[in-house]
Amino acid sequence: MMGTEARAAFRWRHRLGAVGRWQRGLTLALAAVLVGSPAVALLSAERVWAQDDPLALANGAETEFAAISFLGNAELPPAVGQPDFAVYIDETGHTLEGIFLDYWRATGEEAMFGRPISEPFAAPDGYYSQVFERGVLQYLPTMVWTVEPFVRPMPVGRLLIGERSSGLGTHAGGKRLPSGNRSPAMSPLSPDDPAVQAAIAAGGIYDSVTGHTVTGVFLDWYTRHEGDFYLGSPLSEVVTERGMPAQWFDGGLLVETPEGVQLAPLGEQLAARLGVSTSRVPAAGLPGYDESLFVKVANPFPVDVASAPGPKRIEVSIPEQRLRAYEGETLVLETPISTGLPPNDTETGHFRIRYKVPLEDMRGATDAEGNVVWVVGDGGKEPPGSIPYGVADVPNVMYINLEAEALHGAYWHENFGQRMSHGCINLPLPVSEFLYGWAPLGTPVTVF
C-alpha cells in the first residue's frame, strides 16, 4: 500500500511542473472579468467538428471527427464516458449531470465541494461552469487529453482576499504597513526563512511560486483531497476567519471547523459576483442522486464499508499484483490483477480514470522482440513487419494514462496474480463490472 506521505510527495513534485501555469493565467483573467460582476445567461449551444480530437482516431477511421459543442463561448465536454443522464439534488433544488456529476462523485460528493446551487452556465472567463456550496467547478478543455483533472474549482482566492480588509486591502488607518499593506500571514516567505525551515522539518511543504507553506491539519486535508490540483498554491499562512483557523489558496479557503477541515462555503458569494441564479429549478422527473444509479452490481471482494463520503482512489501494486480501491481512508475492495509482461511493463505513476468505454475491441502490434509498437488509438495501420494482436469485446474499459493502458475486464484467462498483459491492468470480470460503475471520471489511480 502506498502511504499518504508518499502520495503527497509524488503529487507535489508533479504539481510544481504543470498545475501552477493554468491557475495563474486563469486568475488574471478572472480579475479582469469579475470586477464588473456581469450577468451570466444560458446561451444556445453551437456545434462544430474537431479534426484534432484524439477520440476521432480511436477506431482507426481518420475521417470520423468528434463533435464539440459550445454553450455561449464555453466549450462543452466531449463524450469520454461520463453519465448520459442527470440527477436532481433535492436539498438545494438543482440538477447535476455529466462530468460535473462524475468529478463530484470522485472527490467525495457533498463532503468536498458541497451540493450544486446553480445550473451549468457559461462563465465570463469562457469556461463551462457550475456553482456549488463551496466553490465554482469548471471544465477545462485543455486538460482533457492529460492525466490531470479536467474539472477544477475556479481559482478565485486572490480576488476574494483582495476584497477583505484583513487581507491585501488598504490598512484601516490609511497607513502603509512595512509589509506593503499585507498582513504578516499574507506576505511571501523566502526559502531560507526560519518559518519555512520549521514547516519543512515538521513534514510540511513550501510553494516557491507563492512563498507560502502548508502544514498540520491543512496539509492532511490537502494531501487526502489532491489539493495540489483542486486548490492549487497556498496564498497565505494560517489566518483566523470568523474565529476559526483558516488558510487561503488559489481555489478557495480551507477552514478548521469543529467537524474538521473543510472548504469554506463561498458558493453563494461567488454566484452573486457572477450574476448566476441560485433559485430552485423543477425536478422534472429526474431521479434523486443515489450510488445505485451507477454501481449496479455487488462488490465481489468487499473489505470494509465506507461510513461517510470521501474521495475515491485506486492503488495498483505491480510487485503484489493487487489492486485496492478506497473511499476516503476506507479500503472497500482488494483483488488480484494481471499487469504488463516485459518488455511491456505497465507504466508506474499517478494517473486517473480519464476515458471510459463499456465495450471495445483492442488491437495492436508488436515487433519481433515483443515490444508494442502500435495500438489502434494511434490511427493508421500497424507498421510493416510488425506482429498484430487483438481481443474482441473487451468489457469495462477505463483508460488511465497516455500510453493507451487501461483497467479492464479479462475473460481470456484466470491467471490473476501473475503478469499477463501488453501493459493494461487485467481485472476479473466481476471486479471490472463493479469498478466501472464505482469509479467515475477523475478517480485517481496510482500504479507503483
Identify the residue whose cell numbers are 449551444.
Answer: 45
Instruction: Say yes or no: 281 and 354 in one domain.
Output: no
State the Cα–Cα distance between residues 160 and 164, nearest whole angstrom.
7
Whether 144 is covered by a domain: the verdict is yes
Which of 25-39, 87-101, 301-315, 385-399 holds the top average pLDDT? 87-101
Residue 324: CATH number of its domain? 2.40.440.10
Whether 242 is covered by a domain: the verdict is no
Name the pLDDT band for 181 (thresholds 50, 70, 90): very low
Instruction: Say yes or no: 315 and 334 in one domain.
Output: yes
Whether 134 has a pLDDT exceeding 80, the answer reads yes
State the Cα–Cα distance between residues 316 and 425, nearest whole angstrom.
9
Whether 303 is covered by a domain: the verdict is yes
So what's the pLDDT on residue 221? 96
Name the pLDDT band for 161 (thresholds 50, 70, 90): confident
Instruction: Say yes or no: 271 and 355 in one domain.
Output: no
Instruction: Say yes or no: 75 and 152 in one domain.
Output: yes
Instruction: Say yes or no: 287 and 319 in one domain.
Output: no
Let me know the angle formed at the C-alpha of 170 by 168 and 172, rounded to the nearest 5 degrees: 120
Whether 173 is covered by a domain: the verdict is no
Give the rounded distance of the alpha carbon of 315 from its chain centre: 16
Mean pLDDT within 265-282? 95
Q: Give 124: exposed, middle or buried? Use CB within 10 Å, 0-12, 13-18, 19+.
A: buried
Per-residue cell: 50: 474537431
Instruction: Say yes or no: 321 and 407 in one domain.
Output: yes
Per-residue cell: 198: 520549521
* Phi and psi angles of residue 170, each rounded to the nearest 5 degrees, phi first: -70, 140
Helix (H, G, I), strand (E, B) or coil at 228: helix
CA distances from 278 to 92, 254, 267, 393 (A): 9, 23, 10, 44
So what's the pLDDT on residue 371? 86
Q: Give the strand pairing for 121-122 and 128-132.
A: antiparallel
Tell me the one-letter amino acid at 17: G
**Summary mean pLDDT of the chain:** 84
So what's the pLDDT on residue 213? 97
- The kind and range of the H/E element at 196 are helix 194-201
Instruction: Say yes or no: 303 and 366 in one domain.
Output: yes
Instruction: Say yes or no: 289 and 401 in one domain.
Output: no
Instruction: Say yes or no: 284 and 329 in one domain.
Output: no
Pick the closest to residue 82 from 65, 66, 103 (CA basis). Answer: 103
Q: What is the DSSP letter of 345?
A: P
**pLDDT tens digit string along 294-325?**
999 999 999 999 888 899 999 999 999 999 99
Instruction: Say yes or no: 148 and 290 in one domain.
Output: yes
Identify the residue whose cell numbers are 464539440.
Answer: 68
Whether 57 has a pLDDT exceeding 80, the answer reads no
Instruction: Say yes or no: 306 and 439 in one domain.
Output: yes
Instruction: Say yes or no: 351 and 403 in one domain.
Output: yes
Per the CB < 8 A criterion, the answer to whether 70 and 45 are in contact is yes
Whether 1 is covered by a domain: the verdict is no
Share of the chain above pLDDT 90, in %: 67
Name the pLDDT band for 166 (thresholds 50, 70, 90): very low
Whether 387 is covered by a domain: the verdict is yes
Whether 365 has a pLDDT exceeding 90, the answer reads no
Name the pLDDT band for 52 (thresholds 50, 70, 90): very low
So what's the pLDDT on residue 182? 55
Whether 67 is covered by a domain: the verdict is yes
Residues 6+ apart with CB under 8 A from 37: 272, 273, 274, 275
**Domain span at 107:** 34-41+50-156+266-294
In the chain, count of helices (H) and strands (E)?
A: 9, 25
Helix (H, G, I), strand (E, B) or coil at 321: coil
Whether 279 is covered by a domain: the verdict is yes
Per the CB < 8 A criterion, the answer to whether 375 and 404 are in contact is yes
Per-residue cell: 147: 492525466
Number of domains in the chain: 2
* Of the listed ranges 167-181, 231-245, 270-284, the one predicted with least confidence: 167-181
**pLDDT tens digit string along 91-117?**
999 999 999 999 999 999 999 999 999
Whether 413 has a pLDDT exceeding 70, the answer reads yes
